[in-house]
């Protein structure tokens, strides 16, 4: 019927293929059909299924592992494979006309969707996947046109369409209204945005509104045999062998796609389905938890890691939706928990950056890359505190620049008084090297270092200083900013690090001068407000025995952290600038009298040693 209507309305030939998108064995025949075509103008990935009705993920009668696999195969796997089969053809075609891949998602991809968690998570996959592929094409092309790449003089458009309700059999809506268009009206509207926006709701009122199962049988039996369950950690996952184009990577094929989706999304959905009802029914006063391990890649678009990032977006969205379900289903106001038989069920999404693991292929820990043990110990401290966490403080720094300070500001507001702020967070170079040629130097490294070493100190001082000035206390308070001797001299082969430390020194001394000039007090680096002195001090050490300095044994010139801190604190309120340790002060005097060229030569030697050692 549809084929006849298309032929008569648009004078085109239509071929009908009857295929079961719930199964993986259909794509060989599709690949043959694609190969037989002389050209392809457009792929519309519109296959999809939904819930029969909104319901609890842990209690809905319609949800079982067959339903879960069918939804994931239909809503995510089919789109991933069809894009993989068609995209290379579109890129290779020699034509001046544009071609397009249009992926039909849903508005539920853009918000957490309690009582619709699985469907919403699959739609989040589609949105993230489409945006990542579009970004890949932009980055791979010399064209600046949004969401397109120029190959043989033509454009390939990737667009994600996320409608609200439309009059269809799946929506169960029979009559159109102001907010619910007919399919024809919706399609005509959505097509107007093709090539204009890579993401669209498709209709102006919508814009206003804004894989294998047999293993789970044995797992279900094991779960049933347990007297109680304290915690489920969904940490299974696979990644790309390396970053690469979705449409051109040699490792990418239908089996790889199914394996990744089954491993990274289907397993988490099923395991949560099997365990959550048990947790809700248990009679225990102790809390229980489901911890789903995602990735930072699920929080941003990830070109050249599109499929992996999309699966992690699924994990993040799914976890938040289940947590919202539990909150809304419960009379408890506790975040991400529900009270059943007097107990709490915690749902947490953990999204790390790199950790030293075989999957990350990082062999040595660093300031931003912890060992698994250090990461786990840190992440567990957030269990029951936040339903979403990066799990490690340096990962939180990498993951966001401003939103962490909202929670810090709330914590500061809750304090009755503040005695001292020590700004001691920082990162350094892996080794001395040329700024323009170092292998570790890239835009991300630069942003991380500036954010960590300068932005954090500026914001924390901004949040705390007004409180210190307003406090009614006779006791002194202080802000101690930890810099480095590298901020006192030019540091070739460590230029960016030294510049961030120069920022700290200048910033601290300027704030101290502000307070002196704003106060009638003549006391150096302090201001009297309600009978209280506020001290601003910069501490600029040389080497100390720390993991960042990679010095393991103390010496006459290199103290332990405890010895250094005890010494530096003796200078609090005495000097607004200090090296913090008497041998460091000796080194500082020496640096001031020797020719600058001598210091630069030493930096060059350190750079040469670093290149030999680290490559």
Q: Show the domains of the chain with their CATH numbers.
A: 2-351 (3.40.50.720), 413-614 (3.40.50.720)
Dihedral (CA of 217, 219, 223, 226) sign:
positive
* pLDDT at site 591: 79
* pLDDT at site 308: 92
Question: Alpha-carbon distance 80 to 254, whole Å?
Answer: 9
Residue 102 has pLDDT above 90, yes or no: yes
Categorize the per-residue pLDDT at 521 as very low, low, confident or very high, splitting at 50, 70 and 90.
very low
Decide: 515 and 522 in contact? Cβ < 8 Å: no
Query: Both tokens of residue 459?
Result: 């914001």
Query: Both tokens of residue 285?
Result: 């006063």
Query: Both tokens of residue 426?
Result: 């920082």
**For the CA atoms of 278, 281, 287, 292, what is the dihedral angle to 10 degrees?**
30
- Of the CA atoms within 13 Å of residue 345, those in its CB half-sphere come to 27
Q: Coil, strand or helix: which one is 380?
A: helix
Mean predicted lDDT score pLDDT of the chain: 82
- DSSP class of 297: G
Please give the helix or strand (H or E) that residue 322 lies within, else none: helix 306-329
Task: Quick: pLDDT tens for 539-551.
Answer: 999 889 887 777 8
Residue 152 has pLDDT above 80, yes or no: no
Q: Range with the lowest mean pLDDT among 5-19, 145-159, 175-189, 551-565?
A: 145-159
- DSSP class of 109: G
The partner residues of 532 in beta bridges, in order of sequence, read: 529
Question: Alpha-carbon distance 444 to 129, whole Å?
Answer: 22
Q: Coil, strand or helix: which one is 195?
A: coil
Query: Both tokens of residue 186?
Result: 């919706």
* pLDDT at site 303: 84
Residue 451 has pLDDT above 90, yes or no: no
* pLDDT at site 342: 38
- DSSP class of 554: -
Categorize the per-residue pLDDT at 100 as very low, low, confident or very high, splitting at 50, 70 and 90.
very high
Can you give the pTM of this predicted structure?
A: 0.56
Question: Alpha-carbon distance 204 to 184, whole Å?
Answer: 14
Question: Alpha-carbon distance 557 to 583, whole Å?
Answer: 5
Please give the helix or strand (H or E) that residue 244 lies within, else none: none
Angle (CA) 75 76 78, round 5°: 85
Measure Cα distances from 96 to 41, 99, 150, 235, 566 in Å. 11, 9, 10, 47, 72
* pLDDT at site 524: 45
Q: Coil, strand or helix: which one is 392?
A: coil
Rounded to 10°, the helix 117-140/78-92 angle is 20
Query: Both tokens of residue 304?
Result: 């050249």
For range 361-375, the mean pLDDT: 85
* pLDDT at site 519: 67
For range 139-149, the mean pLDDT: 53
Helices (H) then strands (E): counts for the chain: 20, 15
Task: Quick: pLDDT tens for 328-366.
Answer: 877 544 444 444 443 489 999 999 988 988 788 888 887
Question: Alpha-carbon distance 119 to 71, whole Å?
Answer: 7
Q: Range with the lowest mean pLDDT among 403-407, 512-516, 575-579, 590-594?
A: 403-407
- DSSP class of 47: -
* pLDDT at site 562: 92
Please give the helix or strand (H or E) that residue 45 lies within, else none: strand 42-45
* pLDDT at site 275: 92
Question: Alpha-carbon distance 508 to 447, whole Å?
Answer: 22
How many other C-beta atoms lie within 10 A of the C-beta of residue 248? 14
Q: Coil, strand or helix: which one is 224?
A: helix
Categorize the per-residue pLDDT at 589 as very low, low, confident or very high, splitting at 50, 70 and 90.
confident
Task: Quick: pLDDT tens for 240-282.
Answer: 988 888 888 888 887 788 788 888 988 898 899 899 999 998 8
Categorize the per-residue pLDDT at 480 as very low, low, confident or very high, splitting at 50, 70 and 90.
very high
Residue of 22, 497, 564, 581 marked active site: 497
Place of tokens 């001691």: 424
Decide: 485 and 427 in contact? Cβ < 8 Å: no
Question: Alpha-carbon distance 136 to 248, whole Å?
Answer: 11
Question: Alpha-carbon distance 203 to 460, whole Å?
Answer: 44
497 catalytic? Reply is yes
């Amino acid at each position: 019927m549809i084929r006849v209507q298309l032929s008569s309305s648009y004078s085109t030939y239509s071929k009908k293929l009857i295929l079961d998108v719930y199964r993986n064995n259909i794509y060989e025949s599709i690949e043959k059909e694609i190969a037989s075509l002389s050209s392809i103008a457009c792929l519309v990935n519109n296959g999809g299924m939904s819930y029969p009705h909104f319901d609890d993920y842990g209690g809905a009668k319609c949800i079982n592992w067959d339903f879960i696999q069918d939804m994931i195969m239909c809503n995510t796997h089919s789109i991933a494979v069809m894009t993989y089969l068609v995209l290379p053809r579109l890129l290779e075609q020699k034509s001046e006309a544009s071609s397009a891949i249009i992926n039909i998602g849903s508005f539920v991809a853009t918000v957490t969707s309690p009582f619709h968690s699985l469907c919403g998570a699959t739609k989040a996959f589609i949105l993230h996947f489409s945006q990542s592929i579009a970004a890949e094409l932009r980055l791979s092309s010399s064209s600046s046109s949004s969401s397109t790449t120029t190959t043989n003089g033509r454009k390939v458009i990737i667009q994600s369409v996320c409608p609200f309700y439309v009059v269809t059999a799946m929506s169960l809506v029979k009559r159109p209204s102001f907010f619910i268009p007919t399919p024809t009206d919706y399609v005509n509207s959505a097509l107007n945005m093709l090539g204009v926006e890579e993401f669209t709701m498709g209709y102006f009122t919508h814009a206003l509104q804004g894989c294998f199962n047999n293993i789970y049988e044995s797992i279900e039996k094991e779960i049933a045999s347990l007297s109680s369950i304290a915690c489920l950690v969904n940490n299974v996952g696979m990644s790309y062998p390396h970053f690469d184009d979705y449409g051109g990577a040699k490792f990418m094929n239908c089996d790889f796609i199914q394996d990744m989706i089954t491993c990274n999304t289907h397993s988490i959905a099923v395991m949560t389905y099997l365990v959550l009802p048990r947790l809700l029914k248990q009679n225990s006063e102790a809390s229980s938890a489901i911890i789903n391990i995602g990735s930072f890649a699920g929080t941003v678009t990830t070109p050249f890691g599109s499929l992996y990032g999309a699966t992690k977006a699924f994990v993040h969205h799914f976890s938040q939706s289940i947590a919202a379900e539990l909150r809304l289903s419960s009379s408890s106001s506790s975040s991400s928990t529900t009270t059943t038989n007097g107990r709490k069920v915690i749902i947490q999404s953990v999204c790390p950056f790199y950790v030293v693991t075989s999957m990350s292929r990082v062999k040595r820990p660093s300031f931003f890359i912890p060992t698994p043990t250090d990461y786990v110990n840190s992440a567990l401290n957030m269990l029951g505190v936040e339903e979403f966490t990066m799990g490690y403080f340096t990962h939180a720094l990498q993951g966001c620049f401003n939103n962490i300070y909202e929670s810090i500001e709330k914590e500061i507001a809750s304090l009755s008084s503040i005695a001292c702020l020590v700004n001691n967070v920082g990162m350094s170079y892996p080794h001395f090297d040329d700024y323009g040629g170092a292998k570790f130097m890239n835009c991300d490294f630069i942003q991380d270092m500036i954010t960590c070493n300068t932005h954090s100190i500026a914001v924390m001082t901004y949040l705390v200083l007004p409180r210190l000035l307003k406090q009614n206390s006779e006791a002194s308070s202080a802000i101690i900013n930890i810099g480095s001797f590298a901020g006192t001299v030019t540091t070739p082969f460590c230029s960016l690090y030294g510049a961030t430390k120069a920022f700290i020194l200048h910033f601290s001394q300027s704030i101290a001068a502000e307070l002196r000039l704003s106060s009638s007090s003549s006391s150096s680096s302090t201001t009297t407000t309600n009978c209280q002195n506020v001290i601003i001090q910069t501490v600029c050490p040389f080497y100390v025995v720390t993991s960042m300095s990679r010095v393991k044994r103390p010496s006459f010139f290199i103290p332990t952290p405890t010895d250094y801190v005890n010494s530096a604190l003796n200078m609090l309120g005495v000097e607004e600038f200090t090296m913090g340790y008497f041998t460091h002060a000796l080194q500082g005097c020496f640096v001031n009298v020797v020719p600058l060229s001598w210091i630069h030569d030493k930096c060059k030697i350190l750079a040469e040693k670093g290149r030999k050692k680290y490559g």
